[in-house]
Structures are given as structure tokens and as C-alpha cells.
Structure 1
Amino acid sequence: MAVTLAFDVYGTLIDTHGLVAMLKGMVGDRAAEFSRTWRERQLEYAFRRALMQNYVPFSVCTAQALDHTCTLYKTPLRPDQRTALLDAYRTLPAFPDVADGLARLRAAGFRLYAFSNGTKAAVRTLLDAAGIADLFLGVISTDDVRSFKPDPAVYSHFLGAAGATDAETWLVSSNPFDVIGALSAGWRAAWVRRSSEALFDPWGLAPTVTVTDLRDLAAAIAP
């Protein structure tokens, strides 16, 4: 059976900091810092909800993280600005290497799935807006099991939904917590190091491969 690749979406395929230019018109020169904090809180809220087993859709984590970040930075948004940001978050841009990298992997015979904390509808909207939806066999969401990565249950759910086994499945992610979660579940994992400043957690687990560009992934994981 062909190797299955489970692609994280937010931060790996889609640039979660793609709204910095928009944020500059709302929060000024702290836009990049604001965006980083928003993303950190979004993930933190997902982790905490998974641990508490108090699930809400990822979009709620995103909205609540935005509200927290506004309070932290003492930059209240008007209701129309808040709505505009959350609407724009549904159509964030893909990274420049994504379309070509995915096309090369598909041409090489890999089975490609999007695997995300976002709901299927939210992820399909993102992939459609980025023009890459047709490169995937499907979208598999942690929403199906009402939890978030790196809960072991979500990696198990992926295998069942994709009709794959852990021995033939790779996670592809820029998020170290996700890579470690997949490795802990018995998968192989490719870390997409999208910044030279990105650090991998010193947990005694290392990515199976590391790339900085998705266009290099097919060669890196070829048998």
C-alpha cells in the first residue's frame, strides 16, 4: 500500500501569521508580536481543553485567544474589526512552497490527507481558498473525536479514517508538539522547519526527517 502523509494545516500548509498586514492597521507596530501571542494562546487553549475534556471547536479557541490577546496588549478592537479578523482567518494564505510541494508528492504516489484541529468545513474553506484542496484525498479532523492534537486518540482516529497503519503513515508538521505526538503514537514524522529560529523540544525524540521546504519532502522520505 502507498505511504500515507497526514499534513497538519495551520502553520504547516497555511500561514497563521498571514494577517500581520491587516493587524498593523488595528494594533500598529506590535502587529507581528500580537500575531505570535494570538497563535500561542490559540494552541494553549486547545491543549487545555483537550486535557480537561471540555471540547469546543477550534474556531472558538481562536476567537477566545484573540480576545485574550487584545486584553493583554491593551488594544481593544471594535466589533467590526474583530469580525473582520476572524473572517479573514478562515482564508489565510498558504506558504509559497505548498502547492508545488504537494503536487510533487502526489505525483510520486503518496496518499495525501489534511489532518487538522480545525473542523472539516473550516479546513476545506482554507484549502479551497489556497487552491490546494484537489491535491488531497480528504480532510480528517480532530473534531470527529472532540479533542485536539497531541491527544493519542486523534492519531488513532486518523488511521481508521484514512484506512492506514502506523507503519505506513507519516505526519508532516511544522509544530514540534504535533511531531512528537505522532512519534509517540508510533508514526514517522517530518518536521517542516519554517524558520531558522524554530526549535525542537528536547524530549529525547527527534523527527524522522527535517526539511525547510515542502518541495524537498518527496526526496527526503523516498524509500
Structure 2
Amino acid sequence: MTSPVQPIIVFDVNETLLDITTLEPLFDRVFGDAAVMREWFAQLVLYSQTLTLSGRYTPFGEIAAGIIRMVGETRNVAVGDDDVAELRRRIGSMPAHPDVAPALTKLRDAGFRLVTLTNSPPSPAPTPLDRAGIAEFFEASHSVDSVGRFKPAPETYRLVAEAHGVATGDLCLVACHVWDTIGAQAAGCHGALVTRPGNAVLHAPETPTPDIVAADLGGIADAIIQHFAPEG
């Protein structure tokens, strides 16, 4: 795959940019264990992908609400409408990780174009990125809602390429989920994995290894700048 000098950098949003650990107090209150948040999130990813493989689509927020109720049923814990409403509020107001703004500034100053691609549906202003104070860094925000399929379906990455009139090889996806970088690379994109706690490279045959791996977004930004630096 030919490397462009400066690909468009496409950022995943949930957990990569925005801190989902701020949802933990809700799960601690409802289930008596903040760690249940990780179970909920893993199930959210699993069932969003299940719907895509099954040829169906339900907005991410609706799946999120259904999953917390499902987790409640499996744990014999009553999850009420107020709990679901709090989950929606918290999801819409997650802060950015501390390393996000400095890394985005570094990439922007180096001349890279920055966009986002999220499983979440579009939302009216102020958006989660607005509330997190990082919307200004991105020239566009893309949602899988426009194709009715969830990442890592290839259509989701292609929608970004088509929106900007480039090939998928002219995109570099940054995510903290290796299933996302695998999908992006399978669709022809470059992949950069930030190994936030609980995330790592998958070492398995026929599995694309991310082009770039770093423990934080600052390291990702430095590596992207170095990797795609103009020659000469």
C-alpha cells in the first residue's frame, strides 16, 4: 500500500478521544460495581456488530440503553427509566482525555487534516465534542448512521473516503480498539492504535498489525508525524 505524505487522520470518538470511565459512577450506583461498565461496553460493541452482520440497524444509543437493561436482567438488578436517562446524559457529556487536545494541536500544527468517525448517531449542538472542548480541531465529524452499519464494516470507512474525495489508502484511523484498526486496515486504510488501559494489539495469524502503536495520543501524534513526514 502506497503511503500518502499526509493522510487524513480519522479519529474514533468513544474511549479514544472521550473518557468513558466517567460512566463508572452510574454502574457503581446501579450494580454496586463500577467494573460492570466494561461488561456493558463490551456487550454494546458485540451487539452493534451483531446487528450489522445480521443486516439490521438500530441507533447506537438505543442499543446502549437496551444493553444496560439486559445486563440488569442477567444480574437480577432492576434498571429503571431514570437510570437509562442518566446513562444517556453521561454519554453525551464525557470529557476528553488529558492527552487529546495537546496531540490534536500537534497534528494540526503539522498540517494534518483531522476528522472523526463514530458509531454514535449525529447529535444537535452542542455535540459531545463541543462539550468536551475539542470540536474545533475537526473539519468534519462522520457517523456510521449515514450508512446504517457499524464499524468495523468496510462501508463505514469508505464513507469517510467518499465524503472527502480520497481513497481509503489516504486515511489513517486512530482508535484504542484493535477491532477498529483491523477493520480500517482491511478496508485499505492505515491504522494507529493507542493502547489505553484494557486495550492491546491482537497477535493472531492473518490479523493486520497496526502501522503505529503507542500508549497515548501524544505518542501516536509523534509517530504519525514521523511516519508520514515529507521526504527530502
TM norm. shorter chain > 0.5: yes
> Which moves more between the two structures, 45-54 or 12-21?
12-21
Q: What residue identity is the alignment partner of 1:198?
A: N
- TM-score with structure 1 setting the length: 0.92
Q: Distance in 2 between matches of 1:70 and 1:4?
A: 41
| Distance change (3 Å), C-alpha of 1:124 and 1:193 | farther
- TM-score with structure 2 setting the length: 0.89
> Which moves more between the two structures, 143-152 or 199-208?
199-208
- Whether the aligned pair in 1 keeps the contact of 2:169 and 2:188 (CA below 8 Å) is yes
Q: Per-residue displacement from partner, 1:5-26 (whole Å, max 9, x unpaired)? A: 0100112111223211233233
Q: What residue identity is the alignment partner of 1:22?
A: L
Query: What is the CA distance between 1:27 and its match in structure 2?
Result: 2.2
- Whether the aligned pair in 2 keeps the contact of 1:124 and 1:133 (CA below 8 Å) is no
Q: Distance in 1 between matches of 2:145 and 2:13?
A: 14
| Distance change (3 Å), C-alpha of 1:208 and 1:2 | closer
Is there any run of 5+ residues in structure 2 with no aligned partner, and where?
none
- 2:140 pairs with one of 138, 146, 150: 138
1:199 partnered with 2:196: no
TM alignment of 1:11-50, pairs within 5 A: 11-28=15-32, 30-32=33-35, 34-50=36-52
Q: What residue identity is the alignment partner of 2:139?
A: L
TM alignment of 1:73-112, pairs within 5 A: 73-112=75-114
Q: Distance in 2 between matches of 1:200 and 1:122?
A: 35
Is there any run of 5+ residues in structure 1 with no aligned partner, and where?
none
Runs of 4+ in 1 over 4 A off after TM superposition: none
Q: What RMSD in Å do the two structures reach over aligned CA positions? A: 1.8
2:22 match: secondary structure? coil
Query: What is the CA distance between 1:123 and its match in structure 2?
Result: 9.5
- 1:63 pairs with one of 41, 59, 65: 65
Which residue of 2 is the match for residue 156 of structure 1?
158
Q: Distance in 1 between matches of 2:125 and 2:103?
A: 19
Q: What residue identity is the alignment partner of 1:119?
A: P
> Which moves more between the two structures, 123-132 or 43-52?
123-132
Which residue of 2 is the match for residue 54 of structure 1?
56
Query: What is the CA distance between 1:81 and its match in structure 2?
Result: 2.4
- Whether the aligned pair in 2 keeps the contact of 1:90 and 1:122 (CA below 8 Å) is no
Indicate the structure with greater helix content. Answer: 1
- Whether the aligned pair in 2 keeps the contact of 1:108 and 1:218 (CA below 8 Å) is no
